[in-house]
Amino acid sequence: MDWREPLTILVAEDDENDVFLLERAFKKAGLDVPRYICRDGSEAMSYLKGEGKFMDRAKYPFPRILITDLKMPRCSGFDLLRWLYEHPECNLIPKIVLSASAHPEDVKLAYQLGANCYFRKPNASSDLVELIKLASNFWAAAELPSMPKNC
C-alpha cells in the first residue's frame, strides 16, 4: 500500500497486564507499527493536543488510530470519547474501544460518543492476536482523512 503517513496507533489503557498483552499481541501479529501508550484518557488528550512531553510531533506523531479502554482512573475512555466528540477536528481519528465490559449500556454509549467499533477484550491471547490483526488490517486498508497535527 502507498502510505503518506504511517499507521501510528495511540493506546489508552491503564492496566499494566493488558498493556503487556497488547504489546505481545502486536508482536505476534507481526505488526511493526509505531504505537504509544497513555495510562488514561487525560494523558491521551494531552497526547492528542500535543501538550507537555507530547509537544515534539517528530517523537510523538499524531496517531492514525486510537484504541481505548473504557474503565480507567482520573479520566475514562468515555471521557476521552466525549472530548473527541466535542472536538470535530480531532474526531476524525478512528476510535476502537477494547473493553472488558460487554454491558449493553457501555456499548451503546461508546457508539453514541463516536466509537467506530467496540470489541470485548478476549480471554485467550491467541484471540487477542487475531483481533489485533483484524482491526489493524481493516484500518490499514481503509482510506483515512489527513489528521491534524494537534487537537
Q: pLDDT-derived band of residue 101, with 50, 70 and 90 as boundaries?
A: very high
Q: pLDDT-derived band of residue 5, with 50, 70 and 90 as boundaries?
A: low
Q: What is the largest CA-CA distance in the chain?
A: 39
Residue 61 lies inside a defined structural domain of this protein: yes
What's the structural domain count of the chain? 1
The pTM (predicted TM-score) of the whole model is 0.92
Least confident of 1-15, 21-35, 43-57: 1-15
CATH number at residue 55: 3.40.50.2300
Cα dihedral across residues 60, 62, 64, 67: positive or negative: positive
- Asked whether the predicted pLDDT for residue 3 surpasses 60, the reply is no
**Which domain does 62 fall in, by range?**
9-141
Cell of 61: 506523531
- Asked whether the predicted pLDDT for residue 2 surpasses 60, the reply is no
Residue 147 lies inside a defined structural domain of this protein: no
| Placement of cell 501508550 in the chain | 37
In the prediction, which pLDDT does 1 show? 39
- Asked whether the predicted pLDDT for residue 94 surpasses 90, the reply is yes
Q: How many CB atoms lie within 10 A of CB 90?
A: 19
Residue 45 lies inside a defined structural domain of this protein: yes
